Structure 1
Amino acid sequence: MTTLPDRPNSALVVIDVQNGVMECSIDSDAVIARIASLVDRARAEGVAVVWVQHSDDGLKFGSDAWRYVPELGEPRDGEALVHKTYRDSFEDTDLEERLAERGVGRLVVAGAQTDFCVRSTLHGALARGYDVTLVGDAHTTEDLSEHGAPAPAQVIAHTNLYWAGQTAPGRSVAVLDADEVVLSEI
């Protein structure tokens, strides 16, 4: 149902599951395990896996904190690796080109941080015409309550509620748990 013509394919987009991000995030072991399972399923079904990797002053490009968690391994040949410096994975990156060359019109999104890069990328995708599924139990964030944010579990729950209620003409939006996601379906 995407508004993007000739884009029948899906992609699993794994956002910022990096050492320095996940070490501060809640329930990170369980989230990483769910994402690893999704990656395995996507590969088995021939669904594109797109890896997004953030760098900034706190995540220096090439540092150990910047690297993806070892539980997910390295991207395989043919899998897109997108480097970003903004929260929205589309902003000033080649993500759109990588998706276009793979004929992708539907994104299945998992990763970190819920209230920053995940949420920004969800909106960026929807605004660009993609169908977007958020994997409700495969995203996480750190505790920023000392800065006025709600507790992390509330941030995650609210994001799932908020995203499930999004609509846009000609596009579909969903929130599904990892075991409910059908990757190859559009």
Structure 2
Amino acid sequence: MTTLENRPGTALLVIDLQVGVVAEAYERDDVVARVAGLVERARASGTPVVWVQHSSEEFPLGSPTWQIVPEVAVGPGDPVVHKRYGDAFEDTDLEDVLAGHDVGRLVVCGAQTDACVRSTVHGAFTRGYDVTLVQDAHTTEDLSAWGAPSPADVIAHTNLYWGFQEAPGRTAQTASAAEVALT
């Protein structure tokens, strides 16, 4: 029940599933496999798959670390949004891409939980989108040496609080990769 008018569609938003971003990610292979399954299901149902790629000094545009992981392929008709900020809506064409597909609901997966995933789900929600975070298809690296909780705790906490977000006319929820609705 998005607040965006005439936007009944759903899209799978895959955030920063890039070689360098997930190189040291918690449960990397399991998360990548679940995302691959979501991509396959989305394509089979006709749900758009929208890819987000982050570039920075650490992940220069076009570099090996910037590439999408080899286990999952961007499809010929899949939109790819390039970003430089945590929130994938900031200074990108993501809103135009989603509007072009009449999308008012996002199913979100990818990396990193405590950075770009969190920023983007909040950015989408404040812009009027319904947002479902796939609770077992997002990950982060271990930043506990710098005072962060363990990756497992970061993921669990993000899933916990996202399930309790509220705003007029919008829904925020979590679901496992196996149970999430992609239409």
TM-score (structure 1 length as normaliser): 0.97
Structure 2 partner of 1:79: 78
Structure 2 partner of 1:63: 63
Aligned counterparts of 1:107 and 1:174: Cα–Cα separation in 2:
11
After TM superposition, the runs of 4+ consecutive aligned structure 1 residues lying more than 2 A away are none
Matches within 5 A, 1:126-137: 126-137=125-136
Structure 1 partner of 2:12: 12
Aligned counterparts of 2:31 and 2:102: Cα–Cα separation in 1:
28
Classify the secondary structure of the residue corresponding to 1:119: helix
Classify the secondary structure of the residue corresponding to 2:119: helix
Structure 2 partner of 1:51: 51
Identity %: 62
Structure 1 partner of 2:146: 147
Structure 2 partner of 1:89: 88
Aligned counterparts of 1:20 and 1:87: Cα–Cα separation in 2:
16
Structure 2 residue runs of 5 or longer lacking an equivalent are none
Q: Does 1:37 align with 2:17?
A: no
Structure 1 partner of 2:175: 176
Aligned counterparts of 1:169 and 1:78: Cα–Cα separation in 2:
34
Structure 1 residue runs of 5 or longer lacking an equivalent are none
RMSD: 0.5
Q: Give the CA deviation at 1:79.
A: 1.2
Classify the secondary structure of the residue corresponding to 2:152: helix
Look up the equivalent residue of 1:103 and give its one-letter code. Answer: D
Q: Give the CA deviation at 1:113.
A: 0.1
TM-score (structure 2 length as normaliser): 0.99
Look up the equivalent residue of 1:60 and give its one-letter code. Answer: P
Look up the equivalent residue of 2:48 and give its one-letter code. Answer: A
